[in-house]
Amino acid sequence: MDPRADILPLVLDDVSFEINGMRLIKDLSCTFEAGPRTAIIGPNGAGKSLFLRLCHGLLTPSAGTIRWAGPDGADPVAAQAMVFQRPIMLRRSVAANVDFALKLRNHGKPDRTAIIDEVLGRCGLRRLKDNPARVLSFGEQQKLALARAWALKPQVLFLDEPTASLDPAATHAVEEIVQAIHHEGTRIIMTTHDLGQARRLADEIIFLHRGRMLEHAPTETFFTEPKNDLAQAFVKGELLWWKLGKDNRRAGGYEVDKAPRRRN
Amino acid sequence: MNDISDAFAAAFAMVAGFDKDLAEIVGLSLEVSLSAVFIAAVIGLPLGAATALFRFPGRKVIIVLLNAFMGLPPVVVGLIVYLLLSRAGPFGVLGLLFTPTAMIIAQVILVTPIIASLTRQVIEDLWREYEEQMRSLGAGPVRSLTALLWDARFSLLTAILAGFGRASAEVGAVMIVGGNIDHATRVMTTAIALEVSRGDLALALGLGLILLVLSTCVNGAAFLIRDAAQKRHA
Ligand SMILES: Nc1ncnc2c1ncn2[C@@H]1O[C@H](COP(=O)(O)OP(=O)(O)OP(=O)(O)O)[C@@H](O)[C@H]1O
Ligand SMILES: [Mg+2]
């Protein structure tokens, strides 16, 4: 398939996902058009990783539909890639990990060698290329997972906390790589716990809380005047689980103690 | 006491001098067991990997049977193969009874469940780890299967060596279907059993020593390979 296949927009319509009767994603509707970068934020266990897996097609919604509405939307797999929260490394060398992914997309040998050299170089892994991938440090593995996804030149790239265990310099490097991928025309949909990163990298923010999308707004608007109280509390660094645990009220009617403001 | 030390001395002399009879027996043993393990691996590796990866009707039954057959008593397998290959049996016309081929068939039946079961366990664990990544990359069943077999190669080699250990050590099946015929179907284990009953302790001991060294080497190799693989691929 042409790596520049056009599968966007991605349309989620009233999507719910449950396991053993627990509803982990609730009534979620949104559309991802080509262009802007999206950051999904929210507390631990909010459902961010599940949300990415649903979009990527690794999970099937229990209710509602997810579809790629673009002209090539019928065959979306080859036009996407994902970097998981815990990098999954094949028991092979660093270079062979990238090579495996490229072979699956039917790249010829000279082509593969050139791409491997380029992405490993830009991710700062060139000197490790013959090392076994599984003995890399966690941060190096994360960079390799990113390099492997980048090598595929997907139209849509899902990133699940791509800098979660990186040092500041590596975080900066990865952010630059994400920017570069964005400039090559790849649609970025990522999660992060780093609000500064969300500001730097994203054009729009989705705020998830307990499986619900409570806010979907341009980055600027979200950080300056979040409409939802929980989003507001989250941005200010308040402990949502503690507050919710205390009086156990539903998200919709929840009020922040310090700055009471009703959701509307 | 003297008998035993004499036997040891004679055994060492035989081994050291590459006694012709001894070499023939050792050679046939290796030929039979290696062929059996090779065929069992060709059947067992894909079978084990497929039961790990795919959900198909009858999968659970196959898994239970493979596990149960890991400990099949060799004499029973020998008996069944004997009945199948005997003149009155369904495959009697092939005239395979009391040939090395019959012995290989019996050992394939003994070893395949071992290799298949161990393969299934190894591949199942690896698949649990790889599944999302493989699906994300768009790897189909065949590509996933070959990637898993390749990435698990060190663990699978130990599974194959375990099969070889079983094949080279068993006596019951090859005795029944091979008949322990001199210069035709006599292998190390059957020769040891025979020579002990005849009182030729030197030959029995010599063969016993070789068998011991062989199985120690196989186990040592299995350990070293695993160890090296673990160091390299964590
Ligand atoms: N296979 C599963 N079985 C049961 N519950 C699950 C399963 N997978 C996820 N969950 C639950 O779904 C919720 C959302 O999980 P998810 O991994 O999407 O959270 P997250 O927002 O990515 O959190 P984090 O910020 O910690 O990565 C969690 O409460 C989790 O316990
Ligand atoms: Mg997560």
Query: Which atom of ligand 1 is least distant from the CA of A191?
Result: 22
Number of domains in chain B: 1
Q: How confident is the model at residue B14 (pLDDT cuts 50, 70, 90)?
A: confident
Structural domain of residue B81, as residue ranges? 2-233
How big is the CA angle at A32 (ends A71 and A34), to the nearest 5 degrees?
A: 60
Q: What is the DSSP string of chain A?
A: --TT---PPEEEEEEEEEETTEEEEEEEEEEE-SS--EEEE-STTSSHHHHHHHHHTSS--SEEEEEE-STTTTS-GGGEEEE-SS----SSBHHHHHHHHHHHTT--HHHHHHHHHHHHHHTT-GGGTTSBGGGS-HHHHHHHHHHHHHHT--SEEEEESTTTT--HHHHHHHHHHHHHHHHTTPEEEEE-S-HHHHHHH-SEEEEEETTEEEEEEEHHHHHHS-SSHHHHHHHTT--HHHHHHHH---GGG---SSS-----
Spatial contact of A215 and A209, defined as CB atoms under 8 Å apart = no
Residue B103 in tokens: 């012995």
Hey, what domains does chain A have and what are their CATH numbers?
3-257 (3.40.50.300)
pTM above 0.95, yes or no: no
Alpha carbon distance B226, B234 (integer Å): 11
A15, A16, A18, A19, best to mutate for ligand 1 pocket (most atoms within 8 Å of CB): A19
pLDDT of B227 reads 85
The ipTM, to two decimals, is 0.85
CATH, residue B54: 1.10.3720.10
Nearest CB partner across the interface for B138, out of A78, A91, A135: A78
Any CB–CB contact under 8 A between B127 and chain A? no
- Nearest Cα residue to atom 19 of ligand 1: A45
Closest ligand 1 atom number to CA of residue A50: 18
Mean pLDDT in residue range B129-137: 96
Q: Do A101 and B137 touch (CB under 8 A)?
A: yes
Q: Whose CA is nearest to atom 14 of ligand 1?
A: A47
CB-CB neighbors (< 8 A) of A141 in chain B? none
User: Whose atoms come closest to the Cα of A40: which ligand?
Assistant: 1
A153 close contact with B: CB closer than 8 A = no
**Per-residue pLDDT tens listing for chain A (264 residues):** 444 679 999 999 999 999 999 999 999 999 999 999 999 999 999 999 999 999 999 999 999 999 999 999 988 999 999 999 999 999 999 999 999 999 999 999 999 999 999 999 999 999 999 999 999 998 899 999 999 999 999 999 999 999 987 889 889 989 999 999 999 999 999 999 999 999 999 999 999 999 999 999 999 999 998 888 888 888 887 766 555 544 444 444 344 444 444 444
Whether chain B has a CB inside 8 Å of the CB on A96: the answer is no
| Residue B150 to chain A, least CA–CA distance (Å) | 9
Query: Nearest CA to CA, how far is B132 from chain A (Å)?
Result: 7
Residue with CA closest to ligand 1 atom 25: A44
Q: Does A49 touch chain B (CB under 8 A)?
A: no
Given A58, A82, A134, which is nearest B234 (Cβ)? A134
Residues pairing with A218 in the sheet: A204
Instruction: Give the model confidence (pLDDT) of B161-215 as tens digits.
Output: 999 999 999 999 999 999 999 999 999 999 999 999 998 888 888 889 889 998 8
CB A41 within 8 A of CB A231: no
Nearest-5° Cα angle at B98, B94 to B103? 90
DSSP lists the bridge partners of residue A68 as A10
Provide the token pair at A216. Answer: 């979907």
pLDDT tens digits for B135-163? 999 999 999 999 999 999 988 998 999 99
Cα dihedral B185, B189, B191, B195 in deg (nearest 10): -160
